[in-house]
Chain A
């Protein structure tokens, strides 16, 4: 079946540093990928839509200069948290729909746990 991977699975960094998270679709191409954030005991909140070959679109309230997204290829999207602060500590999850129909199954990555000290 379709698989979406994320790397790293866990990262701890110091406040002020930047962290890059990779999201890969392993056996299908994804022109669109989505990035979500999940705080403890809360649901997933959509942050942005990553579009291959064009700029990402961000949800209201998400700082595009802080959360840089690059959709470098049809199988790779990266999220860079710049100048990370403790409040950015969260579980970051990407997803990719396999296909172009709204009913195509979306596959989620295993998530990346970011802890900012």
Chain B
């Protein structure tokens, strides 16, 4: 079965630095890889989606890369702020009728940005 590993359970960085989070998966590559933010006691909030044929996606201070050869996605937050502190989840979505919308989540990385 598919396994997803987000390398760090926790990541601590200083404000202003770039946070880099890793998501690795086994088996076959998903059609879409997504990143979500989850605050304590809340549901996930969508951040970015990248397709299997895309190498990189950006949105404001966020950047996602997707390497299907390495079976890895990197998620970057530049100029990090304490408000970026949260749990970040990667999620895989596969193509195909019965797979539509179904997400397989990694266990998350707890990011703490220190002032």
Contacts and interface: CB of A to CB of B under 8 A. Distances in A.
A40 to B, nearest CB: 11
Interface in B52-108: 89, 93, 95, 98, 100-108
A89 interface: no
B93 A102 contact: yes
A43 B106 contact: yes
Chain A to chain B: the 4 pairs with minimum beta-carbon distance, closest first? A108-B43, A43-B105, A43-B107, A44-B105
B54 to A, nearest CB: 11
Interface residues of B, number: 25
Contact of A46 (B36, B98, B102): B102
Contacts of A103: 32, 49, 51
Given A93-B43, A103-B51, A42 B107 contact: yes
Interface stretch (A12-20, A69-77, A109-117): A109-117
A99 B102 CA distance: 14
Nearest to A34: B101
A25 interface: no
B102 A49 contact: yes
B46 A106 contact: yes
